[in-house]
Structure formats: C-alpha cells, structure tokens
A and B are shown apart, each in its own frame.
Chain A
C-alpha cells in the first residue's frame, strides 16, 4: 500500500511572512518584536511537535471550482447551527433536571429566574428549527447541483444519516420541557415508532423504558438527546468534512467545463 501523503497547497502570499532583508539580524530585535511574534512562535512550537499545519492548510486552502456561490455555505451554516445547539445545550444542562416531577419546574426556573435563561433557552429552541431547515436546504443544494454523484455517494449517505440523527435530536429534545405539548407529542411519536411490524412494539418499549410513559422515560430521552446522538453527529460530521476536503466540491451545473488549452488547440488543428 502506498504511504498516504496529504498534498499541501502553498500558503497564499498575503499570509506568508516576508523574508527579512539581507544583512538584518535574524530573530526578534526588541520587546515589541518579541510580543508581535509571540503568536507565531506559539504556533511554531505546537507545529514542531504535531505537524498539524500541513493538515490545516490542506483543509482550509483548497481549490474551489468556478461558480462557487453562497449556496455552498449551507453545509457550514448547518455545522454552525449544530455548534450553537451544542454550546447552548451544555449551559441549559447546568439548570435542567430530567425527572418527571422536576423537569417542568426546572425549565420554568430557567425561563423566569436565571439571568439570560430565557434567551439561551430560546436560542436552543429556535436553533433546533434553524438546524433542521438548514440541513434540508443543504440537502436540496447537493441534490439539485448533482453533488451526490460519483465519487461523492458515500458523503450523501453520511449526510442522510446526519439528517436522521438531527431529526432524532429534534424528537428527543421536544419532550424535555415536559409540558402538555411535549408529553402528548412524545406519546404520539413513540407510538408511531411502534407501528413498525415485528420490531416496532419493542422499539417503542425501548424508547419508553417500559409499557407506559414511566419514571425513566424522560432521563432516557435526555441521555439520548445530550450524549448519544450529539457524539454520533460530531463524529460523522468530522468524516463528512474530511470527505469534502478530500474529494473537493463540484461546480454548479450551469458552469461549463473548460477543456484544457492543449486539447482546445488540438481540436482546432484537426
């Protein structure tokens, strides 16, 4: 097997530090210069021990096709929505209590008593809809631009799994405020799972942790919502991004491929 070697595109000129003029001393001269170079020398120190810079350059300074436009940002937007959900979710977890008798009270406390609690809760609540909308728009972009075709089929498949996981997040998160709406929506949602033949009844029982909505249903949904699924989403998102960087993005369908100059000349002479 040949050794995997990541191609490292050159650093753009405007980022590359200019070489010192000849005759000047190498290294920083005074305190000011030391301070200016502190960031660079920290990065150097890390890079000398990890060689991460090549990977970072490979990830960030990629060649993109002509015609790349704002629609190509929908994937990153979805990722940003996920990060926003992760951050606000971690802070909501500081006040939330996933027990059937305390959950509603703890959400009421977050909304009414905690400083900025209503804001963070609303960010998480509305952000979930934003993420679902963005993931569908991103999927639509991929579909209509034909970006799912060879060699990117696996990335489409991973994307579909990410979509399912995002819907799982939306479903399990809906129960957590534990008001009438979330309770009945969860009863209905779990029963929809139960209508699958043979395995359905066991699946709904697994989700409820028993034949009825019980004492541990809420904590089960909470564990799925904040630990199981986010971990899977983060891991798959990483792989999704790796494949995007490895395979590159597609040009929009309306951009005609330009044949290389050599081929064009040949067609003229022939």
Chain B
C-alpha cells in the first residue's frame, strides 16, 4: 500500500510535541496515565490480596488432630463394631463431634498389612457418596447410609449404591491398655492408605491426581 501514512517517529521531539526532551519516547500525558493506572493497581492489590489471603487462609493451614482416648483394649471385639464419639472440631459443641465404629484387627477379614496403627480398626461414619452419616447394621454386617442408599461391607468396602470409595478410617494407637484414635485417612478399593479426601472423590486410577490431597490434612508419613 503506497498511500499508507508515514509511520510516526517514536521520538516525541520528532513529533513536534512542545517541551519534548531529546531521546524521549513516551509523552508526559502517557507517562501520567500509566503511572496513575499503576498506582491504582497497587492500591487495589493492597486491598484485594490480603482479603483473599484472609479468606483462603484456612485452606493452607494444617488442622491439629490430637490423639483421643476412646476406651480400653477389652471393650472392642474382632467380630462386631462398637460406636465411639470423638471430637473433630473443638469449641462448637455437638456440631464438632462424630461417631466412629471401632473393632479389633481381625486377620480373617482384614487383608492389609498389620502395623502399629491398625491393631484396632476405626471406621469413619462419613458416607463416601456425599458425606451423610452411615450406620452399622449388625444383622446385615453392613454399613448403610440413609441418604442415597450407599452400602458397605464389614471392612467398609462398597457393595452397593453411589459411594465412590470404601469408608475412611482413623489411625489408632495403643498405649498401656488404652486405645487412642488419631487423624483420618482415606483408602482406595485395595484399602491402601491415602491422605484424607472429601466424600465423592474416588481414589482408584487417576482419582488420586484429580482430587489432590490438601495441606490442611495429611496422612501420617510413611504409612
């Protein structure tokens, strides 16, 4: 295109701008606009970023999960579950409490390697569909969820309904003759331990990468 306009010089002196300096490429009006916008951006960020961090803080803070005594060794059998109440969140009354089903490790049904954390099995009552509370029905030897019909067998593996993985468990420890319950962990369908996930998040296949573990709650290292 021959009739195109000559491109403007990038130097302000060449463009006959009054008061231009030698070698200056940015007009003062433009410098002021950029400066003003930058100042506005800094001021905005100074408000938005701390507020966002404030709201997002709990996501990255590790939750304290102390060991809680739940009973003596003799109170638990190999063949059935005993309900125990533990506190998941301090200071909010009943809303912070949860039921846990407990029994002794049973070599006839438990396939996982015995170690110091599973001498007693503590099964969480959080349904792995969407988090309603499951109940152990002794006659059926099943955990049954009232909300959407999730069913789990005696060790907590899914046998029916919508749940995506077996029931979560808690670490247990024995000191003297007292059983203590620790932090929660999730298991895949082979009962391998994973850092705790929320309900509805499968752990088989790519599940463990699609639903990453979070800094607020991790399993015990090397377990």
Contacts and interface: CB of A to CB of B under 8 A. Distances in A.
B88 interface: yes
Contacts of B91: 215
Contact of B198 (A100, A101, A183, A191): A191
Interface string A176-187: 001000011001
Contacts of B88: 212-213
B214 A215 contact: no
Nearest to A192: B130
B212 interface: yes
Given A197-B211, A201-B212, A215 B92 contact: yes
A219 to B, nearest CB: 11
Contacts of A210: 58-59, 61, 63, 89, 216
A100 B211 contact: no
B131 interface: yes
Contacts of B199: 191, 194
A201 B213 CA distance: 8
A68 interface: no
B132 A204 contact: no
A205 interface: yes
B200 A192 contact: yes
A195 B96 contact: no
A87 to B, nearest CB: 28
Interface in B42-60: 55-56, 58-59
B214 A213 contact: no
B199 to A, nearest CB: 5
Nearest to A203: B59
Given A187-B132, A191-B131, A194-B201, A214 B217 contact: no
A83 B124 CA distance: 44
Interface string B63-106: 10000000000000000000000001111110110000000000
B63 A191 contact: no
A77 interface: no
A10 B93 CA distance: 65
Contacts of B59: 202, 205-206, 210
Contact of B200 (A195, A206, A215): A195
Nearest to A198: B210
Contacts of B89: 210, 212-215
B214 A211 contact: yes
Given A198-B212, A205-B216, A211-B63, 18 more contacts: A100-B93, A101-B93, A178-B95, A183-B95, A184-B133, A191-B131, A195-B201, A201-B198, A201-B212, A205-B58, A208-B58, A210-B58, A210-B216, A213-B89, A213-B95, A214-B92, A214-B96, A216-B58
**Sorted from nearest, which 5 A-B pairs have the closest CB atoms?**
A100-B92, A194-B198, A195-B200, A197-B210, A211-B217
Interface of B: 55-56, 58-59, 61, 63, 88-93, 95-96, 130-133, 147, 196-201, 210-214, 216-217
Interface of A: 100-101, 178, 183-184, 187-188, 190-192, 194-195, 197-198, 200-202, 204-206, 208-216
22 contacts: A100-B92, A187-B131, A188-B132, A188-B147, A190-B131, A194-B211, A195-B200, A198-B210, A200-B198, A201-B197, A202-B59, A204-B198, A205-B216, A206-B56, A210-B58, A210-B216, A213-B95, A214-B92, A214-B96, A215-B91, A215-B92, A216-B58
